[in-house]
């Protein structure tokens, strides 16, 4: 199955089992982001990728510019390990990791969750790439991906066991839009996928295609 097929199957299951009020509330949240055109203001293709240093799941630190100095970087912002769509994405990217690495690139995933939560996500999904915690929200804001949840969504998330004020490293009720970037060795964004609809994610095949395009560029 493609990642899209997996995501669509998960969404169909949700629509079959959830009550109408919950379905409508989640959709309102998506529609508000789309109407506000929030994704258009995020860092995009051709932009310089803002640098950052973030803690990983095992107590170390990862600096984007140091990764870029070694080769292209694939960077995925996800909502958290509590999000089933995020877990499907992370597992799909893990399956593509050998091909990504064969093209000289590294892969990192970033969420607002605290490091202990990121460690759980990495272990539960058997991830072999860096899972970083945007504990102060610096990366999410630098890439202009964060949005604040409405009071309606806060109540729904909390009732569903996802109190983001406790889960997120900075204690804030915000999330990043689903976003995946491919950053070239020049530090600029070669591919940008930013999506207000959190149930859509970039296919691994498109990441690999972008990396091949970078590899085919003439040196200098």
Domain boundaries, the chain: 3-216
Q: What is the full per-residue pLDDT of the chain (220 aa) written as tens digits? A: 899 999 999 999 999 999 999 999 999 999 999 999 989 999 999 999 999 999 998 889 999 999 999 999 999 999 999 999 999 999 999 999 999 999 999 999 999 998 888 889 899 999 999 999 998 899 999 999 999 999 999 999 999 899 998 889 888 899 999 999 999 999 999 999 999 999 999 999 999 999 999 988 765 5
End-to-end CA distance of the chain: 39
Pick the CATH number of 3-216 from 1.10.3720.10, 3.40.30.10, 3.40.190.290, 3.30.470.20: 3.40.30.10
Sequence-separated (6 or more) residues with CB below 8 Å from residue 166: none
């Amino acid at each position: 199955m493609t990642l899209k097929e997996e995501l669509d199957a998960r969404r169909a299951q949700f629509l079959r089992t959830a009550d109408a009020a919950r379905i409508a509330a989640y959709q309102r949240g998506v529609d508000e982001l789309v109407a506000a055109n929030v994704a258009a203001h995020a860092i995009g293709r051709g932009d310089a990728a803002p640098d950052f240093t973030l803690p990983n799941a095992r107590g170390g630190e990862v600096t984007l510019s140091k990764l870029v100095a070694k080769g292209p970087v694939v960077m995925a912002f996800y909502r958290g390990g509590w999000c089933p769509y995020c877990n499907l994405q992370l597992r799909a990217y893990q399956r593509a990791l050998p091909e990504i690495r064969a093209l000289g690139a590294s892969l990192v995933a970033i969420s607002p969750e605290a490091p202990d939560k990121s460690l759980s996500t990495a272990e539960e999904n058997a991830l072999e790439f860096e899972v970083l915690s945007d504990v102060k929200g610096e990366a999410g804001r630098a890439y202009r991906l964060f949005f604040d949840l409405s009071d309606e969504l806060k109540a729904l998330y909390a009732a569903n066991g996802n109190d983001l004020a406790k889960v997120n490293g900075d204690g804030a009720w915000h999330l990043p839009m689903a976003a995946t970037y491919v950053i070239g060795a020049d530090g600029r964004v070669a591919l940008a996928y930013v999506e207000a609809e959190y149930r859509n994610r970039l296919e691994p095949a498109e990441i690999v295609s972008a990396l091949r395009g970078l590899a085919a560029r003439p040196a200098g």
